[in-house]
Structure 1
Amino acid sequence: MQLEEAVAIARNSRWLSQHDRRVQDQLCSRMRLVTLPKNRTLFDIEDSASEIYCLVSGCAVITVPHPVQGMLHAHVMFAGRWFGEPAALGKRPRIMSVYARRPTELLALSQQAIIDLLQADPSLNWVLFNLMAWNVEEYLLHAVDLMIVDPRIRLCSRLLTFGGRLLNFLPSGPVSIPLTQEELAAASNMSRSTVFHLLGELVQHGICELGYREVRILDMPRLAAIVEEASTA
Structure 2
Amino acid sequence: MSNSLHSGATRRSLATPMLFEALDPALQVHLIRNAAVRHFEDGQLIQQRGDTADGFWLIEEGAVMVGQFLADGDFRAVALLGAGDSYGELAVFSGRPRIVDAVSRGPSRLRLIGARTFLEALGNYPASTRALLAALSEQLQETLALLAGLRRGTNSARMAGLLATMAGGMPGPASVAVTQQELADLLGITRATANAALGELQKRRLIERGYREIRIPDRDQLALASLD
Residue 110 of structure 1 corresponds to: 114
Residue 197 of structure 1 corresponds to: 196
Q: 1:68 to 1:139 in 2, by over 3 A?
A: farther
- For 1:1-233, what aligned pairs fall within 5 Å after superposition? 4-5=2-3, 20-64=24-68, 71-161=75-165, 163=166, 169=169, 174-181=174-181, 183-212=182-211, 214-218=212-216, 219-228=218-227, 230=228
* SS in structure 2 at match of 1:76: strand
* SS in structure 2 at match of 1:5: coil
User: What CA distance in whole angstroms lies between the structure 1 residues aligned with 2:25 and 2:103?
Assistant: 31
The CA deviation string for residues 193-224 of structure 1, in whole angstroms up to 9 with x for no partner, is 33222212322444323344x34142322210
Residue 191 of structure 1, CA deviation:
4.1
- Give the stretch that moved more between structures: 183-192 or 57-66: 183-192
Kept in 2: contact 1:6–1:33 (CA 8 A): no
Q: Relative contact order, CA 8 A, sep 6+: which one is greater?
A: 2
Q: 1:64 to 1:137 in 2, by over 3 A?
A: farther
User: What CA distance in whole angstroms lies between the structure 2 residues aligned with 1:52 and 1:6?
Assistant: 19
TM-score (norm 1): 0.74
- Give the stretch that moved more between structures: 122-131 or 93-102: 122-131
RMSD: 3.3
Gaps of 5+ in 1: none
User: What CA distance in whole angstroms lies between the structure 2 residues aligned with 1:20 and 1:186?
Assistant: 34
Residue 153 of structure 1, CA deviation:
1.2
The CA deviation string for residues 135-189 of structure 1, in whole angstroms up to 9 with x for no partner, is 334444532431223222122223334x166xxx4686623242334x4334424
Q: 1:67 to 1:150 in 2, by over 3 A?
A: farther
Residue 117 of structure 1, CA deviation:
0.8
* SS in structure 2 at match of 1:147: coil
User: What CA distance in whole angstroms lies between the structure 1 residues aligned with 2:171 and 2:82?
Assistant: 11
Residue 112 of structure 1, CA deviation:
1.4
User: What CA distance in whole angstroms lies between the structure 2 residues aligned with 1:69 and 1:147?
Assistant: 27
* SS in structure 2 at match of 1:80: coil
- Count the aligned residue pairs: 217
User: What CA distance in whole angstroms lies between the structure 1 residues aligned with 2:167 and 2:158?
Assistant: 16
* Matched AA of 1:91: G
* Matched AA of 1:176: V
Kept in 2: contact 1:101–1:178 (CA 8 A): no
User: What CA distance in whole angstroms lies between the structure 2 residues aligned with 1:60 and 1:28?
Assistant: 19
Kept in 2: contact 1:6–1:107 (CA 8 A): no
Q: 1:55 to 1:206 in 2, by over 3 A?
A: farther
User: What CA distance in whole angstroms lies between the structure 1 residues aligned with 2:75 and 2:5?
Assistant: 32
* Matched AA of 2:93: L
Percent identity over the alignment is 20
